[in-house]
Structure 1
Amino acid sequence: MSDPAADPTLNCRSGGGAEDLLGLRVASIFIILVGSSSGALFPVLARRSSWLHVPKAVFDFAKYFGSGVIIATAFIHLLAPALEALGSPCLSPAWSVYPYALALCLLSIFGIFIVELLAFRWGTAKLKKLGLHHDHHGHNLPSHAAHGPEYNQPATPVEVPKAADEKSELDSEALQHAHHANTIADNATAQIIGVAILEFGVALHSILIGLTLAVDPGFKILFVVLVFHQTFEGLGIGSRLAYMRLPHSYNWVPFAGAVLYGITTPIGIAIGLGARSTYNPGSATASIVSGVLDALSAGILMYTGLVELLAHEFLFNKEMMDGSNKQLVYSVGSMLLGCALMALLGRWA
């Protein structure tokens, strides 16, 4: 079989990235930074700021719209490019004998599942030692927001006999307070780990598309699409961050997560611009790296989107099951709209 690198219609070697429109490519760093950060920070500020009064319907729209965006991102913007990259004609024929992209995605899904399963077992065992109940489906909560065991106060409160002296009563209250504080801390840790996994998958994707934007010949169309792409995706991440229930000492986490998301694509663009004379996204090495990372990220977002968002926000959410038909239609419609718009953007990016 002939060497694909010898095909004049292909550019399989390193280097060869586009170098035109340098000023606009540099400006894209700051434009996408604003769009990404705004999308991610808006839900966090809307929920946690006293001066920013956003109607509940608007916030619910952002929340469910973002869930749809994350699901569409997994399938259209990660798995499809992974299949394309690992099926590139620049790669050796060995890459075409097995669907490696799908296998890596499957590996990622079960990897995240096993990690979460072990975390839940550990968290449940720890809660039992504290005498607290763990509801796996979150039926006793208004909304399941993120990974991790939820906590609930015991159904029967601990009562101190009236005849007990004041010292015993104070000791009992202190013990209950310590148990409650420990449970909140455990739940906060689980939520932070869950969101960190989601951010990791999105960050890999964001850096890769930033690298591509910096050197892609079709810059103008890709740039416009990515502004919307990153803003919508930021809305999805921000909605997850906004619904984290954390102790006061952890209130900085959602803001840090939003800022981290906002800077990932600009970092990718800056790296791409710095290496534009040597980096070619169509080369064999770049195709393998981006294909593998996209496939792994797709698995992370698939699991998060379908299990943590779709199932827990609807099927295992008591508020959604007992709510009005109007609320259900509004929530599902918002999610489908986010999914549809993000899928549509896959036509260009």
Structure 2
Amino acid sequence: MSSDDSACSTVDARDQFNHLRIASIFIVLVGSCSGALFPVLAKRSSWLHVPKAVFDFAKYFGSGVIIATAFIHLLSPAIDELSSPCLAPGWSEYPYALAFCLLSVFSIFIVELIAFRWGTSKLKKIGKSHDAHGHHTGSHAAHGPESSVEPAQAPQKEASLDTDKESQDHHHGHSFEDSATTQIIGVAILEFGVLLHSVLIGLTLAVDQAFKVLFVVIIFHQTFEGLGIGSRLAHLQLPSRLNWIPIVGGILYGITTPIGIAIGLGVKGAYNPGSATASIVSGVLDALSSGILLYTGLVELLAHEFLFNQEMMESSNGKLAYALGSMLLGCAIMALLGKWA
């Protein structure tokens, strides 16, 4: 049996750092939940006065984290996993990881396109319109809308305003509901991609032999990524009856990696992360997740918050530099963590 065959079939069931692995469930839980829930709770707190500049930093820093995660922590491992020598020769005849990523990008695009058209048709029925890039009420500003109100229009007649006030309020309510729906769809897509990734890294942490280094890196990884998710959740503009959604989203992110660790510890004696089956499952899920985060990061975060954001385009050079610097810092730190995990 060759060394490659041995590595593919051998299961390392040694009980290395078992107590620390169990403790990692709770340590990662605290780090993940803290990163994801702090922006949400701070935004709602009346006693914790967090400056707007801090929220802006978290939002743009998180955007950089998400984009770097897609490239460095998902797409690159997917390519390695689906080109593993443990797999059948057919897997090396085509760049399957890139194909799955491409499939994911266009699948998410089609889903959002359908949701976008559905929201548009509902708005037309109540006499509203919106900017196609998501800058007005009822639009697809899914990851932190740039504006929650429509541009003010000059009143034509006082009498007309008084007569139509009730109708306008009714229409604005419908528009706000539609905006909430599209925001929830968008952030759910973002979180879905992150959650798949979180389960996989939790499973890896539970069984990987290089546990200590990976453990430290994942604590920072999950905290920074949680900050990115939490800042998106905090900027959702929802009706009061849906205010629970950002909190649930943060908690869901926080518990996913610990669940992955617990599953990994449960199957540690039988699970070989280098096996053909593990490589295929992990590679396909990583590739699909990378497509989700690539689409979200490049289209929703970069394009919508910079190129198509009128407020940002008209802002001072200092504000623009601050936003870009925050985003690049998040991207750089997460990319650097890819050296170890």
Common fold: TM-score over 0.5: yes
Contact 1:134 1:150 in 2 (8 A): no
Offset, 1:128: 1.1
Counterpart of 2:66 in 1: which secondary structure? helix
Q: In 1, distance between residues paired with 2:240 and 2:9?
A: 52
Contact 2:69 2:335 in 1 (8 A): yes
Q: In 2, distance between residues paired with 1:346 and 1:47?
A: 30
Contact 2:142 2:182 in 1 (8 A): no
Offset, 1:59: 1.5
Among 199, 224, 239, which residue is 1:207 paired with? Answer: 199
Task: For 1:129-168, list aligned pairs within 5 A.
Answer: 129-139=125-135, 144=141, 146=143, 152=150, 155=153, 161=159
Change (3 A) 1:130 1:215: same
The answer on 1:119 being equivalent to 2:111 is no
Offset, 1:130: 0.8
Percent of pairs identical after alignment? 68
Contact 1:82 1:295 in 2 (8 A): yes
Letter matched to residue 282 of structure 1: G
Offset, 1:77: 0.2
Q: In 1, distance between residues paired with 2:9 and 2:157?
A: 74
Contact 1:135 1:151 in 2 (8 A): no
The answer on 1:224 being equivalent to 2:222 is no
Taking structure 1 as the reference length, what is the TM-score of the superposition? 0.91
The answer on 1:98 being equivalent to 2:94 is yes
The answer on 1:73 being equivalent to 2:69 is yes
Offset, 1:124: 1.0
**2:308 counterpart residue number:** 316
Offset, 1:190: 1.0
**2:292 counterpart residue number:** 300
Offset, 1:160: 8.0
Change (3 A) 1:12 1:216: same
Q: Which stretch of structure 1 is more off in the superposition, 338-347 or 126-135?
A: 126-135
Q: In 1, distance between residues paired with 2:109 and 2:84?
A: 30
Q: In 2, distance between residues paired with 1:295 and 1:347?
A: 19
Q: In 1, distance between residues paired with 2:51 and 2:221?
A: 25
After superposition, the C-alpha distances for 1:242-266 in whole angstroms (9 at most, x for unaligned) are 1111000011111110000000000
The answer on 1:281 being equivalent to 2:278 is no
Q: In 2, distance between residues paired with 1:320 and 1:151?
A: 16
Offset, 1:150: 6.9
Contact 1:132 1:153 in 2 (8 A): no
Offset, 1:8: 2.7
Among 221, 233, 237, which residue is 2:229 paired with? Answer: 237
Q: In 2, distance between residues paired with 1:218 and 1:203?
A: 23
Offset, 1:173: 4.0
Among 47, 53, 58, which residue is 2:54 paired with? Answer: 58
Q: In 1, distance between residues paired with 2:88 and 2:264?
A: 25
Deviant stretches of 4+, over 3 Å: 138-141, 147-151, 153-162, 172-175
Taking structure 2 as the reference length, what is the TM-score of the superposition? 0.93
Q: In 2, distance between residues paired with 1:123 and 1:138?
A: 12
Letter matched to residue 286 of structure 1: A
Q: In 2, distance between residues paired with 1:158 and 1:7?
A: 83
Among 3, 20, 23, which residue is 1:8 paired with? Answer: 3
Counterpart of 2:8 in 1: which secondary structure? coil
Query: Which runs of no fewer than 5 residues in structure 1 stay unpaired?
Result: 1-5
Q: In 1, distance between residues paired with 2:129 and 2:144?
A: 17
The answer on 1:49 being equivalent to 2:45 is yes
Query: Which runs of no fewer than 5 residues in structure 2 stay unpaired?
Result: none
Counterpart of 1:91 in 2: which secondary structure? coil
After superposition, the CA RMSD in angstroms is: 2.2
Offset, 1:147: 7.8
After superposition, the C-alpha distances for 1:138-185 in whole angstroms (9 at most, x for unaligned) are 4568x95528997637836696848x9xxxx5xx54433222212111
Change (3 A) 1:151 1:213: same
**2:81 counterpart residue number:** 85
Change (3 A) 1:183 1:312: same
Letter matched to residue 83 of structure 1: I
How many residue pairs get aligned? The number is 336
The answer on 1:259 being equivalent to 2:255 is no
